[in-house]
Amino acid sequence: QVQLVESGGGSVQAGGSLRLSCAASGSTISRNCVGWFRQVPGKERERVASIYTLNGGTYYADSVKGRFTISRDNAKNTVFLQMNSLKPEDTAMYYCAARSSFRSCGLRQPEEYDYWGQGTQVTVSS
């Protein structure tokens, strides 16, 4: 069983940066698809980015391409989301999620993930 804990959220002005962390415990995530999602009240959970931690392959939603970077540190069992050039529309609760080991990656739908964190709030003011 994998437990995920997000951190690094906060409030920034437009154009600023934040780095989110997703720390795993209970099992390694060094061979998993790990994704970041975001959600605002009343809307569906949106795919942001994902990484296949075994080989480092990355996938991004068009809305964040060129501004966000997903990465991993397998030694620390942690996945990161570096967010630059933040916009007010990036304001949301951000969640990380992991699929079971060796399952394929890409921009998967939320229901295709097996483990979820509790989320960290990101607020971008104009």
Those residues of the chain that have pLDDT short of 70 are none
pLDDT given for residue 119 in this prediction = 98
Tokens of 59: 């996938």
Determine the pLDDT at residue 125: 98
Q: 50-78 pLDDT, tens per residue?
A: 999 999 999 999 999 999 999 999 999 99
Write down the pLDDT at residue 27.
Answer: 94
* pLDDT for the residue 104: 93
8 Å CB contact between 107 and 50: yes
Which residues face 26 on adjacent strands? none
Closest CA relative to residue 96, chosen from 14, 10, 42, 32: 32
Residue 126: per-residue pLDDT: 95
pLDDT at 98: 97
Q: What is the pLDDT of residue 18?
A: 98
Q: Which string of DSSP letters, residue by residue, matches 2-52? A: -EEEEE--EEEETT--EEEEEEEESS--TTSEEEEEEE-TTS--EEEEEEE
